[in-house]
Amino acid sequence: MPNTSSPRRAIVIGGGPAGLMAAERLALAGVSVDLYDAMASVGRKFLLAGKGGLNLTHSEARPDFDTRYYERQAGVAAWLDRFDGEALRAWTQGLGVETFVGSSGRVFPKDLKAAPLLRA
């Protein structure tokens, strides 16, 4: 019989956007999370990406967007069925960060900076 009285714990390796989001989801589910990264602080590469405007995703409609992944299209489509560009925009809005669609169709934070997302 499993011991259910012990708190659940998880280790997330990598403090980039995916690792930070994984840690957030685990913590929201009541899991105690330890986050490790090779850099001195988490999110450092994310902050560097923000210097270029921080393209978060693309607003192109699916399935047109999916075709960009060629032979991996089916696998990527399965991921995007669970968390697509609109879900990403809703998630950032939930963190208090508004987004906009640029003339290229790319989606950016309204202030074009990564730091507010990292602080959230």
Encode pLDDT of 63-106 as tens digits: 899 999 999 999 999 999 999 999 999 999 999 999 999 999 99
CA distances from 71 to 39, 41, 53, 67, 76 (A): 33, 36, 30, 9, 10
Quick one: 8 and 35 in the same domain?
Answer: yes
- Same domain for 36 and 78? no
pTM greater than 0.95: no
Instruction: Report the distance separating Cα 104 and Cα 86, nearest Å.
Output: 17
State how far Cα 46 lies from the chain centre.
10
Q: Is 12 helix (H, G, I), strand (E, B) or coil?
A: strand
pLDDT at 2: 63
Show the domain range for 11.
1-42
SS3 52: coil
The residues with which 13 forms a beta bridge, in sequence order, are: 36
Q: How far apart (Å, rounded) are the C-alpha atoms in residues 14 and 27?
A: 16
Residue type, 77: A
If one counts the domains in the chain, the total is: 2
Residue 16 has pLDDT above 80, yes or no: yes
| SS3 (DSSP) at 101 | strand
pLDDT at 4 over 70: no
Is residue 47 in a domain? no
In a domain, 10, yes or no: yes
Give the C-alpha separation, 18 to 35, whole Å.
12
